[in-house]
Every structure is written in C-alpha cells, then in structure tokens.
Structure 1
C-alpha cells in the first residue's frame, strides 16, 4: 500500500510465469508495486490458484492462464489475505472455481473490504481503473484453523495463522514440493508492510507476526513465495523475523526513555535504512514503529518476557 499515487499500471503478466516445482508455477510480481506473486498449484484432478491480482482485469488474465494450465481440471481459488491486490479479483472466478478462505479473512472482507476499496481507489488513476467494477463476493467454503485441499495425488495445506499482518492471514503449503506461500507475512527486498492506520485499522500485530514467522521457520520449507519480491529460500523467514525483532527492540528502547513517537520514528527509520539501504518501502518503517509503540504498553502490563493477551490471541 503506497503513500504516493501510482503512475504505472499494477498489471499482472502471466507471460512471465515460471515453474518452481513439479506442476507448480508462480506468476511473479517483477518488482511492480501493487502486484503480488500469484501461485498455480496442480494435482491430478484439480488446480489451486493463490491470489487474484488487483481488480477484475488482472483476475481475468489469471483465470485465463489457470484455465489453460488446468486443461480440464477443477479449479479452486484461495487468497492469502483480504487486501485488494491479493483478493479483489475474486468475483471473476465465480462459477469457474471454488473460492475458499479462513473464517477471519472472510470477516475481514465483509467488515474492512469496502473501506480498503475506497482507500485504494485514492492511490492514483491507474489503481482506480484496475478497481473499476469490483464486487466483493463471499467465499464458497470457509474453514476455521486449517484445511487440507486434495488436488489429486497432492494435498495442499491451508492454515490460518491468526492475527499478524492482518487478522485473516493465511499461508499455503505444498508439502511434497517444500513450497510455502506466505502472502504479506513475508516480503523480499522491502520493509515489512504494516497496515497501521489508526483509528481505522489497527489489526496488525508486530508481536504476533514475530511468533508466526518463528513457527513457519520451524516447518523448514525449501522455497518461500513472498507476497511481493523474489521467490527465496527458507532463510528469508529468519531475515524478516530478525528485522521485526530489531524494529521492536529499537522502538521499545526509545519508548522506555519517554521519547516522543515522532522522534522514535525518525531515529528508527534512519537506523533501518542504514541497515538495509537496498530495501524498498521505507515509508512502512514509521508505521511499524507506531504499531510497536501501541503494543509496548500492553507488553508492560503483561509483565517482562510475556506477550500481552491481545498480541497472542
């Protein structure tokens, strides 16, 4: 979610799709802002699409590619979370695929989807055009914590991680291929996206995010498909967690000294850019500081070394 209006088209390009494992391809985002990595995972009788791209036009391209790739196999769609570039093309898949997500994400779509649609339409003419005609649809299937999707000779694991980047985050694991789709829990080559917009949206939890990444690292994937950026090895899970831990520690160290949040943000931002000068998305550092400042008081109330209840729910 950029802060400056976009001047380029946030266009998915299926022509760039590449196979990263047997019967498993990724349509890469190619470093284009507001374009996610999109997965197509095949089995003997079914194919799962992971994320839609921003708006109906992008989703139509993804659906056309997936239909050709499937060659008669049944189609399923899932989305890693409800944010527009990941999920606001689902309407195109209606009557063509079975759409399934976790319960928290389905609730996000209902309660926050319209607000995010309006916000994103204000991000410039190319984004508004991409979102023209969007209708937010209800999923066909909703699960609570985990769902094993049998594609035929290949079972894909869908798991609701709980509150982190959003309340409805979901990871998709292809165990036989050692591939993990993380959505925006992980980005490659950019600072973590903190959708911290008080008072309208404060669902992101840096503390919970760190714990989710710790759990995902323990699963030992071979390849990680981030929400944005290059497909990477498992080390990226540790890299992102260590960044979030450093962001937390540097924020809290200054918070304990009763420094103003504005000063904290400026100092921490300078430090993080010095550590990672090549990363994109520098505007997200201050949003992360705001989130961790909010969680600091809850951490103090819970006691040293113990996460606050709101961050572990």
Structure 2
C-alpha cells in the first residue's frame, strides 16, 4: 500500500468568499475536505471538521477566533471520516446539528468506516487515534433553517446520492452552496460502493440530486474536495455521471462480459478526462450503476 499524504488541515489558508463567510481549502490534499465557517451577528456555523481530533482542534480554534464570543454551531455534510470524525472536539463548545439520514449513517455505518480508515496506513491511523464515532446534539427531519442572526443558513438533506444521508448547506444571501462529496473538482466522482458492506451510494439518485442543485443555480459552489467555483462545479459532475451511466448501461444491455465492460468504460472515461485524479473510483461507479441498471429516479 502506498502511504497517503498526511491529511492535515491548514487553517492559515482560510479565505473569505463572501462577507463573514470563510473557507479553509483542502489544497488538493487527499482526505482533507473544504471546511466552511459561516457567520451571522449572533452565531457562527462550522461546516465539516477534517479527519481526527488534531485537525478538528485547529478548526475549532479558528472558529472561536472568528466568532469572537458568538455562539458556535457545527454541521457536517455526510458521515465519512474526513468530514465528520473530528466532531467530538466540539462537544461542549458547539451544538452539533445533522439531518436524520446522516445521524443514522453515523450510528450504523460509522464504526465500520472508522475501522476501514484506520487500515489505510499508519498516517491515517495516527490521525484517528482516540477518535470515536460522533453523536449529534440535535437531529432534524427535513430542512433546517438555522438563524445565525441576520443570516439564515439552510441545512438541506438531498436524499440518497454519494451516501444515504447527504446534506448540502446553503447560504442564500451569499448565493453559496456547500455540497460535501456530491461534487468534487479535478477528479472522478467518489463512489463508496463496497458490496456487501456498503451499497448506499446511488448513481441514479446522485444524478437526480445534481439536477435539482443545478436548477437552483448557486453563485458559488464549495465542493467537498477541490477548487471552489461557480455552477460548472455541479454541471461537470452531473455530466460525468451521465457519461458513466450511459457508457455502462449501453454495454450492460449488450450482455458484455463484466471485465470487458469495466475495461472499455474506464478507457473511454480516462480518454475524455485524462487530467482528472481518482481513476480508482471509476470501477466502483460502474459496479454501482450495473446494479442500478434500468432504474429511474
């Protein structure tokens, strides 16, 4: 196994993308998410934590500095370790809010993902030393409009896509959308398709979610990983998922041998997107869409 780069969050790189709205960028480091810090007159919301307690402690310290005495909230876009497995650091200092689907993912999938990520190498295992699966303080059904004082932030579950419990975070007055891993830039879409242990990802559902997000036309899109951008962040992922679906289903209809199907689809997509990272996620995406062959959203 090739040792992964240390997934260290660098709060020194934080930049303001709208008034009182900062992003700590992932700087294209594996297993580091883009992290949001969104302020109103009364409170500040942190979006995602980074992996492990040391990263989360840096994020919390940065958020305290930004808040200057304002109340703190934390939310996460989905349950995967680099997004949520630092939340325990915020206990007693911030109210941790998640949607119902994500809370269920944390409880049912969280322990398995913690064990799996600890197996990714010594660097990741060290980051996860002393980490336990977080438990939210508050769980909401449907959308939750969080009033930060003069700024409403909408926590909106999307339905099944990258996970069963995905949640986007909208800042309507700034036109900003945090997508979590429903969108990435510069890489193939991440399909956590690990049968029989986890088959919650849905390529068909993910496409339907992206169609809805595109229709809302946010001004600024903060992806789970990669560069911040505009609407093309969403349309590029949507278009890729359509390619993946169409190329997979066309060959599935021909009853092609599975190995040949994977090889052909992979070759086509790499040829179309030669500069993208994460080629290892193409095959799980094919597997997912083969399982969903003929399904409509």
TM-score of the aligned structures, taking structure 2 as reference length:
0.99
**1:26 paired residue number:** 23
Task: Tell me which residue corresponds to 2:57.
Answer: 60
Distance 1:80 1:194 in 2: 16
What is aligned with 1:302? none
CA distance in structure 1 between the partners assigned to 2:114 and 2:132 by the alignment: 10
Matched, 1:175 2:187: no
Are residues 1:74 and 2:105 paired?
A: no
Equivalent pair of 1:7/1:124 in contact (CA under 8 Å): yes
Whole-angstrom distance in 1 between the partners of 2:134 and 2:24: 23
Q: Equivalents in 2 of 1:279, 1:137: separation in Å?
A: 33
Does the alignment pair 1:105 with 2:102?
yes
Q: Does 1:197 align with 2:194?
A: yes
Query: What residue in structure 2 maps to residue 256 of structure 1?
Result: 253
Cα separation, 1, equivalents of 2:130 and 2:2: 20
Find the aligned partners of 2:257 and 2:89 in 1 and give their Cα distance: 47
Return the alpha-carbon distance in structure 1 between the equivalents of residues 124 and 181 of structure 2: 19
Cα RMSD for the two superposed structures: 0.8
The separation in 2 between residues aligned to 1:36 and 1:5, in whole angstroms, is 21
- Hey, what's the Cα distance between the residues in 2 that align with 1:122 and 1:169? 24
Gaps of 5+ in 1: 300-306
Q: Which stretch of structure 1 is more off in the superposition, 12-21 or 261-270?
A: 261-270
Structure 1 pair 7/166, CA: closer, same or farther in 2 (3 Å)? Answer: closer
3-state SS in 2 of match to 1:289: helix
2:281 alignment counterpart: 284
Decide which moves more: 257-266 or 59-68: 257-266
Residue 5 of structure 1 deviates from its aligned partner by 4.1
| 1:138 aligned residue | 135
The residue that corresponds to 1:37 in the other structure is 34
Say whether 1:125 aligns with 2:129. Answer: no
Q: How many residues align?
A: 297
Aligned counterpart for 1:92 among listed residues 89, 93, 109: 89
Q: Which aligned pairs between 1:204-283 and structure 2 lie closer than 5 A?
A: 204-283=201-280
Contact in 1 for aligned 2:43/2:148 (Cα 8 Å): yes
Structure 1 Cα separation of the partners of residues 2 and 134 of structure 2: 27
TM-score under structure 1 normalisation?
Answer: 0.94
Aligned-residue offset at 1:7: 3.5
> Which whole-Å CA distance do the structure 1 matches of 2:212 and 2:7 have between them?
32
Aligned 8 A contact 1:147 1:157 in 2: yes
Evaluate the alpha carbon distance shift between residue 7 and residue 207 of structure 1 in structure 2; reply closer, same or farther with a 3 A threshold.
closer
